[in-house]
Amino acid sequence: MKTLIVAATRAELAFFYQHYHLPEYDFVESKHFDVLITGVGMVATAFALGQYLTKNYHLVVNFGIAGCFDREIELGTLLNITEDNFAELGAENGDEFLTIKDLGFGENHFISRSKINIDLPSVTGITVNCVTGSEQSIKNLKKRFSPTTESMEGAAVFYACKQANIDCIQIRSISNYVEPRNKDNWKIGLAIKNLNEWAIAFIAEMN
């Protein structure tokens, strides 16, 4: 059985593609692993996984960059997101937020059940449709989830893997702090370089 590597954009796996001489397609098959580029966001991710996630895979690895709520963590740091949450899926009730679970319609919190030993700090993430960019939203999200990271896909990958009963890990490299938007502060190049080096070593070790 193979590993399915999932990322939102091909740019996030650029050096990985180069290293393995992969063709520039959004779904690439190779002997030990396949790669799926889903597009950004939960909808695109869920649709792509609905098309490609089959029982041929024993493991899904979601790679990407992410925002970070913790200023003690340096940009470019790699983290293992072992828990993730749909942060906006639910209902407002005045100032209170009711999750999809509170409403009785399903789960908003996912935990990786993988037993693979990952040499990175384990943290909790949130997954959003709208990148957080106001002090009030940051305060609310910290209160509700105590998150370390924010992405736009993570919890959707965990959700799909749970539905398909396939183990999943999520590795993200910190490109920016979650703050009022200022793309000049983002270190995307550094985050992608570190992410790809780790991904190449991880896949080499697994096979």
Minimum Å gap between C-beta 54 and ligand LNDFFVEH is: 23
| Residues 68-127, interacting with ligand LNDFFVEH (CB under 6 A) | none
In a 3-state reduction of DSSP, which class is residue 37?
strand
Minimum Å gap between C-beta 93 and ligand LNDFFVEH is: 25
Which structure tokens are listed for 59? 């493991």
Which structure tokens are listed for 37? 């580029």
Query: Which one of the spans 51-59, 107-115, 157-165, 175-183 is the region binding ligand LNDFFVEH (CB under 6 A)?
Result: 175-183
40 touches ligand LNDFFVEH by CB under 6 A: yes
| Cα atoms in the 13 Å half-sphere on the side-chain side of 6 | 33
Contact 7, 27 (CB under 8 A): no
Beta pairing partners, 34: 4, 29
- Considering only 17, 46, 59, 64, the residue that binds ligand LNDFFVEH (CB under 6 A) is 64
Strand ranges (DSSP E) for 41-102? 57-68, 78-86, 90-93, 96-99
48 touches ligand LNDFFVEH by CB under 6 A: no
Q: Which is nearer to ligand LNDFFVEH, 38 or 99 (CB)?
A: 38
- Give the list of residues 6+ apart from residue 156 with CB closer than 8 angstroms, or none: 42, 45, 46, 49, 86, 127
Question: Which residue minimizes CB distance to ligand LNDFFVEH?
Answer: 67
Q: Which is nearer to ligand LNDFFVEH, 77 or 175 (CB)?
A: 175
Per-residue contact track with ligand LNDFFVEH, 134 to 153, x per CB under 6 A? ----------------xxxx
Count H helices, E strands: the chain? 5, 11
- Give the list of residues 6+ apart from residue 170 with CB closer than 8 angstroms, or none: 61, 62, 64, 80, 81, 82, 84, 112, 125, 154, 157, 158
Q: Which is nearer to ligand LNDFFVEH, 8 or 79 (CB)?
A: 8
190 touches ligand LNDFFVEH by CB under 6 A: no
Binding site residues, ligand LNDFFVEH, CB under 6 A: 8-9, 11-12, 40, 64-67, 128, 131, 150-153, 175-176, 178, 188
